[in-house]
Amino acid sequence: MTADEPSDDAADGSTPVRPDGGTTEDAAGADEVALDPWGSSTVSDYRKLFSEFGIEAFDEVLSEVPNPHYLMRRGVIFGHRDYRPVAEAMREGEDAAVLSGFMPTGDPHIGHKLVFDEIIWHQERGADAYGLIADLEAHSARGLSWDEIDEHARNYLLSLLALGFDPEEGELYRQSTNRAVQDLAFELGIEANFSELGSIYGFDGETDVSHMQSVVTQMADILYPQLDGPKPTVIPVGPDQDPHVRLARDLAERMRMFGVTEAYASFEATEDELAVVADAYDAREAYADDPDQPRCVEAAEWLRGEGGARPDVPDEDVALEAVAEKLENAGMEPLRPRTRFVDRRADDEAFEALIEAIDGEKRVFEGHVDAFDVDPAEAAELARSVEVEAGGYGFLAPSSIYHRFMTGLTGGKMSSSVPASHISLLDDPDEGYEKVKSATTGGRETAEKQRELGGKADECPVYELYAYLLAGDDDEFATLVYEECVGGERLCGNCKEQAAELMREFLADHQEKRAEVEELLEAAEIELESPRRG
């Protein structure tokens, strides 16, 4: 969940201004499947994340976003999980939140600026904004001393403020000094176990306990904006942080007092079994003496093919016989759709409050309530309101948006450990100029071939600088650079010179603003020096 060291292969743009990694050749040693929040995960084909991990294409929600950021418009933000509730809240002026964290292991660089911009953009559109320093993670997972962490944390915070974060309207904090986060992490830890963390992160018997604790702390960070009430919350991250998002969404659900699902009879059914029951109910005309009131035993006979009937389901469907047995045991009970409220963690008082709040016909069982006059959407809001009133969290599953990694200026990975591959936000402007001038390009072998064949902007780290940073909000300029390059009108020398000058101007301006917000940082409610030792 932290912005650490972006590392990825070149992004291939199939259309102007859109760095589309889908057609890029695999980078040497790239791992197309594993996403490691602390490693050097690479993604050679971003589209694989849609099928491998269930990340959705951001294009599908772009039209619902009010005045989208240029990173969204250009496809730099390429994917999301459940972002629609956040977009809707911003459109309607309702409560929403944005949070992301930074592991202070080195200087902030232009890759981190993507996350800074995403937080600030959401804040400017009314979302409650949170920027956190993941110092517990840096200490446990990377072994940094607290003095080193303090120095790097200050630099991250100054850049965030210089780029426009409003500390009076948002919140900055350190994991190590936020007691509410630590208390929430303790509660979340009750719902997580070592086997689960081992499966997600590859932890084993050699993993430090503090490292595991830092994971649960990050889960608390992600849910922290909802401690004062449930609200749509987005976490802007690179795809390597997706394991954290998935676990946080699971834990948010496990912390709920009540679950809401659909059912057709009084017995419990798994998701696969419920699909079979639904099919049986839909086919009631084929077997029920009274289709308006089909009986469970009739559905069981139909599922088993008794009396000559046979459902259109494969014989090897393992859920079929299990469902048939449950239906048979239910006997003459009517098979009837209903909304089910499941008691997960509620005490007796909260469960009674839920029963009282459900209007219309209902059946109360041990551990759940079946309602016949409440649709699932209304039921979810009802369950959440009862839970919050009873002192529960009522968490909404957090959303996420994913941005592409920036290619290193020397090609391959951008890494803080390779100074020539990245531009630090603290670099002297002239040094930034020289790094861009020395950068690898997607140009042809000679100027003649460049004019004849056009440049390969889709494979060019310098073009990425324009698309991700230097063109700012000016889509026309970014498109012009792309079209002149691929059309053979723009040669690499002049292109790099222009980019280098723009980078020098950006760094000079940014560092001037960093100096201006020093007092703002001193006044912010965040401890800049850790009292811890080590």
Digit-coded pLDDT (tens) for 100-158: 999 998 899 998 999 999 999 999 999 999 999 999 999 998 889 999 999 999 999 99
Q: Is the pLDDT of residue 13 over 70?
A: no
> What pLDDT sits at residue 68?
97
What is d(CA 63, CA 69) in angstroms, rounded to the nearest whole number?
12
pLDDT digits (tens, 9 = 90+) for 68-101: 999 999 999 999 999 999 999 999 999 999 999 9
3-state secondary structure of 190: coil
Chain mean pLDDT for the chain: 88
Mean pLDDT of 174-193: 96
Burial profile 12-43: b = 16 or more Cβ within 10 angstroms, e = fewer:
bbeebbbbbbeebeebeebeeeebebbebbbb
Confidence (pLDDT) at 48:
75
Question: pTM of this prediction?
Answer: 0.87
What's residue 232's pLDDT? Answer: 98
The pLDDT of residue 351 is: 97
Q: What is the pLDDT of residue 42?
A: 52
Least confident residue range of 311-315, 368-372, 393-397, 417-421? 311-315
pLDDT higher at 22 or 325: 325
pLDDT value of position 10: 32
Angle made by CA atoms 408, 413, 415, in degrees to the nearest 5: 80
Confidence of residue 388 (pLDDT cuts 50, 70, 90): very high
| Higher pLDDT pick, 172 / 446 | 172
The alpha carbons of the chain give a radius of gyration, in whole angstroms, of 27
Report pLDDT for 410: 84
Mean pLDDT of 258-265: 96
Average pLDDT over residues 243-250: 95
Q: Cα separation of 458 and 442, whole Å? A: 7
Q: pLDDT grade, residue 513 (50/70/90)?
A: very high
- What are the residue ranges of helices labelled H in 108-241? 110-124, 135-141, 146-162, 179-189, 194-201, 209-223
Where residue 317 falls among pLDDT bands split at 50, 70, 90?
Answer: low
Query: How far is it, in rounded angstroms, from Cα 361 to Cα 236?
Result: 43
What is the band of 45 on the pLDDT scale with cuts at 50, 70, 90? low
The pLDDT value given to residue 205: 84
Q: What is the mean pLDDT of residues 171-186?
A: 96
Rounded to 5°, angle at Cα 228 from 224 and 232: 65
pLDDT the model gives residue 29:
32
| The predicted structure's pLDDT at residue 54 | 85
Residue 429 corresponds to which tokens in the numbers above?
């402007």
Query: pLDDT (tens digit, 9 = 90+) per residue, 436-479?
Result: 999 999 888 889 998 999 999 988 999 999 999 999 999 999 99
**Tokens at 521, concatenated:** 């940082």
What's the rounded mean pLDDT across residues 273-279? 92
Burial classification of residue 282, based on how many CB atoms lie within 10 Å of its CB (0-12 exposed, 13-18 middle, 19 or more buried): exposed
206-215 residue pLDDT tens: 888 998 899 9
Q: Has residue 11 got a pLDDT over 90?
A: no
Grade residue 53 by pLDDT with cuts at 50, 70 and 90: confident
Q: For each of the domains in the chain, give its residue range(s) and CATH number, in order of start.
A: 2-20+44-256+396-403 (3.40.50.620), 259-389 (no CATH), 419-523 (1.10.240.10)
